Amino acid sequence: MPQPVDPRVLGVTVAGGVIGVFARALVVAPVDDPAAVPWVTLGINVAGSLILGIVVGWLDDRRPLTRAFLGTGIMGGFTTYSAFAVATALWITTPLLAAGLAAASVVAGVGGALAGLFLGRRIADRPGRIELPEDAE
């Protein structure tokens, strides 16, 4: 049976999401060249993956409200899979460029997340291997 949603977690996640979406809009709005938007989106997603990795590595399972606000909320609102998907789909007339954008987004995003986890664990002074989901308690 699904667990009920804690209204506090929902509230801080929504508040963080508003901040993250606003931050993304501040970065994208000044871009005048439509051809640059996919690259800006790539940068946003990679930076967001790095920061999300830091948040997860730093907080781990501690402070669930802070993690929901910063991670799921702000970074979830700041990064955007849908904009990445649309940018890639719009470049389908140039398949190599579309595939390169998709590959760069995934590889750089995962790389950013790994670097962020490493940095976050260092900030928390809890170095160690990255725990796999199946090893989590």
- What number is the average pLDDT over the span 119-129? 76
Query: Does some domain include residue 135?
Result: no
Mean pLDDT of the chain: 88
pLDDT for the residue 5: 84
pLDDT for the residue 93: 87
For residue 104, the tally of other CB atoms under 10 A from its CB is 14
Task: Tell me the residue type at 71.
Answer: G
Query: Does some domain include residue 114?
Result: yes
Range of the domain at 97: 7-129
pTM of the full structure: 0.81
Query: Does some domain include residue 136?
Result: no
What pLDDT band is residue 81 in, cutting at 50, 70 and 90?
A: confident
Query: Does some domain include residue 72?
Result: yes
Q: Is 109 annotated as a binding residue?
A: no
Query: Does some domain include residue 96?
Result: yes
Residue 80 pLDDT exceeds 70: yes
What is the total count of domains within the chain?
A: 1
pLDDT for the residue 74: 96
Query: Does some domain include residue 12?
Result: yes
Query: Does some domain include residue 20?
Result: yes
Residue 137 pLDDT exceeds 50: no
What pLDDT band is residue 91 in, cutting at 50, 70 and 90?
A: confident
Long-range contacts of 106-111 (CB under 8 A, 24+ apart): 108/42, 108/45, 108/46, 108/49, 109/45, 109/46, 109/49, 110/49, 111/46
Q: Is 57 annotated as a binding residue?
A: no
Half-sphere exposure of residue 63: CA atoms within 13 angstroms, side-chain side:
13
pLDDT for the residue 83: 83
Query: Does some domain include residue 137?
Result: no
- What number is the average pLDDT over the span 87-102? 87
